[in-house]
Amino acid sequence: MALRPPGHPDGAGGSLGRAWVTKGLGRQQARTGQEAGALQVSLSAPEDRGVAAPSPSNRAQPPLPPHPVPSQPVLSCPVPCRQESRAMLHWGYDEHNGPAHWKEVFPVANGDRQSPIDIKTEETKYDPSLRPLNPSYDPASAKIILNNGHSTSVEFDDTVNKSVLTGGPLSGTYRLRQIHFHWGSNDEAGSEHTVDGMKYAAELHVVHWNAEKYSSFVEAACQSDGLAVMAVFLKIGECNPQLNKITDRLDTIRIKGKKALFTNFDPSCLLPKSLDYWTYFGSLTVPPLLESVIWIVLREPISVCSEQLAKFRSLLSTAEDEVACCLLRNFRPPQPLRGREVRRN
């Protein structure tokens, strides 16, 4: 996802509204149905896109964000989920509400397919069947930039296939929903995924959903093959002029709940030259932690400078009527692999 201390996928970071699921969605959905009470990363309905999800003054962040495909469709809004959603609004990244506590409200946090993970490069498996990635993004589909109190995200028009991702490990076309960022309180550690135990300064998530099989992002987020999140590592180096397109706008959305028009932006400008990748089946990295993500982690990082990352930390996880609190960190630590295979192209 993604998105955060801040308070996703993506994936998902972003402004995720409420997604409700009912009983009988299959084994995975039965386990995570209640958690889906509010996908605060990017599950908002089209008419709600760009409106930050309400949340109490927590100092956590993100947004924005696969298991066997359930046989029944995602339905909406049972009363128990409304009650659960109120509890979920308190998740964050502080000691009292951070990742170590998420399992108290979202039992799937201890599931077999959780993200992020530590990628042990020597244990990854080369798969000759993996195809090259083919991102095709229309700058005109970018709509708004927002601060949801968990992360900052750029939201895209996903009503048609203007901006899509194909190839790689994916079957079919996945439609771009949003991008969001994860960072830390310093330049040493801010990424969610790690590589052989090494942390990067930050991580970008580019969140897509399976528009060929499902009718909405909310429905897709509850299916095993519903989401595809491309992760990009950010390392400290030269300032990145492409990232300035985002960091130069952060002052306008410094307070939680703020949003601004953000058009003519192609997120491929933030991708590295090489699109070689690792891939595995995982989850949203923010509540409700649904195990519905095909992760595509790019092996080559992009460079950003310390000054650019500092602008993300200047964002507030609090609204205008709350005591100001900066989004200093918004990443979940790596989760157990539990027998999953990580493949590389």
Q: Which of 8, 67, 150, 205 is catalytic?
A: 150
Q: How far is CA 208 from the centre of its chain?
A: 10
Q: Could you count the other beta carbons within 10 Å of the beta carbon of residue 306?
A: 12
What tokens does 308 get?
Answer: 């650019």
In this structure, are strands 227-236 and 133-136 parallel, antiparallel, or unpaired? unpaired
Q: What single DSSP character describes residue 46?
A: G
Q: How far apart are CA 304 and CA 247, in angstroms?
A: 11
Burial of 157 by CB count in 10 Å (0-12 exposed, 13-18 middle, 19+ buried)?
middle
Residue 14: name the closest of 39, 41, 36, 35 by CA.
41
* Backbone phi and psi for residue 74, each to the nearest 5 degrees, phi listed first: -80, 130
DSSP bridge pairs for 232: 204
DSSP element (H, E) containing 85: helix 79-88
Residue given tokens 């900052």 in the structure block: 152
Give me the count of residues in the chain: 345
Residue ranges with strand state E in 78-201: 118-119, 125-126, 133-136, 142-147, 152-156, 164-167, 174-183, 194-195
Q: Could you count the other beta carbons within 10 Å of the beta carbon of residue 107?
A: 14
Residue 208 is a catalytic residue: no
Three-state secondary structure call for residue 177? strand
Q: How far apart are CA 5 and CA 61, in angstroms?
A: 6
- Which residues are CB-neighbours of 30 under 8 A, at least 6 positions away? 23, 24
SS (H, E, C) 49-70: CCCCCCCCCCCCCCCCCCCCCC
Active site residue ranges: 150
